Structure 1
């Protein structure tokens, strides 16, 4: 979905064709870091994460390290480019991570975050729906975790607060289904539905709703069935701002 959204680009920051030191924070499976290392052989790429779930076979200019981006950064080098993707639920204090990134950049370096928000609609079609109610419950449940899922709209302001210049925000939409008249957005809506059909709602909701809101499995199953139906309703023009 990111490849579709960014027209096959890995980044929007104008980093040039010859970056030397690149950091991918909370790299996860490492897929972005691998693609970047292959596209930019000049770069030494480091991917950090809490878990060693990355593949053993990687490009020679890529290394993975176990590290928590919220701890002190101890890298001996400065970076030309630092990247983070889909980390809305990772950090108790994103601003503190942004400040670490600022300090870790070489002069003229770039920091880029690619992330998504909870769903909304611009025409009020989510109002009164189970999908809208689900968003409210998710926000309430995550408030108890210390990592609220409402941080992303603050990123641009926090970049500025952390000290960055030339802060630019590009916004896209990931629709809940194929309701959009835009061809690319219809494709992204199909991908959203593919994730929902592979239990995305259940994977997000089960622990949050049952441990933080005290829901029973039966109550959750009945509710998610209604939410699932709403995600497939083309009259509900829901989307995730990206």
Structure 2
């Protein structure tokens, strides 16, 4: 997170203690859109999944927008609430914010919760897919928009907080986006951005080097390079440096680890691991199928063989793996 006009420390997330017990949960696999044109609502289809149709020649967003993928997004929201002790945000925005913007709002769940928690605020959620519910708090609205279309349709010095998360692979020019966020924030306003590293790793070497999930991060970074929209936002302090370069102050990093499965000994992290396993398993095909087949050139059969191996590994209780963020 960062404040509009410093911190030099770059903390590292602590190691997670392993629970040697048998606890394990099997993943379960089982608005303002009234004026949209019919073409936007006719989603593109690929291998039985649906994708946005918002300027498809100009916007390459790789994840599906169907119910299966969206259920995973809502699971992810709950996971982050547990991780952050039921707090929607860390930024010290004060008790009566007036305006908030949720960029890449997805199902709109963060924007809706923020609006409920802050009735003083007018909340806007933007996305390239009109998948948000129509029954929402009166102080929230959703807009179809692509964050890369700059300038944004908001005045200078407008928002108390701009929130982003899980935007990997969706933006080609992050410095330009951060400069636009700075313009739209009030002096003293905050931007808060949460991203994961695509790498699946373990601190104790429990994941074999030749594991399918050990290839997950490298494959996504390769795909991101091909489409010109990076997936490595959580690596090398990229977000920190882009915020600083844009002119933000009080830039703070909060690194954490998201275990894949209930292997941690700590009860809270065990819950986080269960949710992370569920949301990862729910979204695994959706994450991979477009990028692997249309960008990396894999066949659908190759993709499914890889995903079958990946799912088997996700269920292996001996692998103490995690995503870093």
Q: TM-score, normalised by structure 2?
A: 0.70
RMSD between aligned residues: 1.7
Choose from 98, 102, 111 the match for 1:20.
98
Q: Give 2:154's aligned residue.
A: 75
1:43 aligns with 2:121: yes
C-alpha offsets along residues 180-213 of structure 1, whole Å, 9 cap, x if unaligned?
A: 2222221122112223443x22111112112222
Counterpart Cα distance in 2 of 1:208 and 1:53? 21
2:142 pairs with one of 58, 64, 69: 64
Shift in Å, 1:41: 0.9
CA distance in 2, matches of 1:18, 1:134: 42
Which structure: greater helix fraction? 1
Aligned residues: 241
Question: In the alignment, is residue 187 of structure 1 matched against residue 266 of structure 2?
Answer: no
* Secondary structure, counterpart of 2:201 in structure 1: coil
Give the TM-score normalised by the residue count of structure 1: 0.92
Q: Deviations over 1:81-115 (max 9, x none)?
A: 11112212221122211111111111111111122
Contact 1:173 1:185 survives alignment (8 Å)? no
Partner residue in 1 for 2:309? 226
The match for 2:166 is 86
Q: Which runs of 4+ in 1 moved over 3 A?
A: 123-126
Gap change, CA 1:220 and 1:48, over 3 Å in 2: closer
1:101 & 1:194 partners in 2: Cα distance?
Answer: 33
Q: CA offsets, 1:24-55, max 9 Å, x none?
A: 11212211111111111111112222232222
Partner of 2:20: none
Which runs of structure 2 are paired with 1:190-209 in the superposition (5 Å)? 190-198=274-282, 200-209=283-292
- How far apart, in 2, do the equivalents of 1:210 and 1:51 lie? 22
Once the two structures are TM-superposed, the CA of residue 159 in structure 1 deviates from its matched residue by 0.9
Distance in 2 (CA, whole Å) between partners of 1:124 and 1:52 is: 42
Aligned partner of 2:197 in structure 1 is 117
TM-superposed CA distance for 1:133, in Å, is 2.1
Say whether 1:141 aligns with 2:220: no
Tell whether the 8 Å contact from 2:159 to 2:184 is kept in structure 1 after alignment.
Answer: yes
Distance change in 2, residues 1:196/1:24 (3 Å) = closer
| Contact 1:130–1:227 (CA under 8 A) maintained in structure 2 | yes
Rounded to whole Å, the distance in 2 between the matches of 1:106 and 1:207 is 38
Return the structure number with greater relative CO, CA threshold 8 A, min gap 6. 2
Could you list the runs of 5+ residues in structure 2 that have no partner in the other structure? 1-78
Higher mean C-alpha deviation, range 183-192 or range 16-25:
183-192
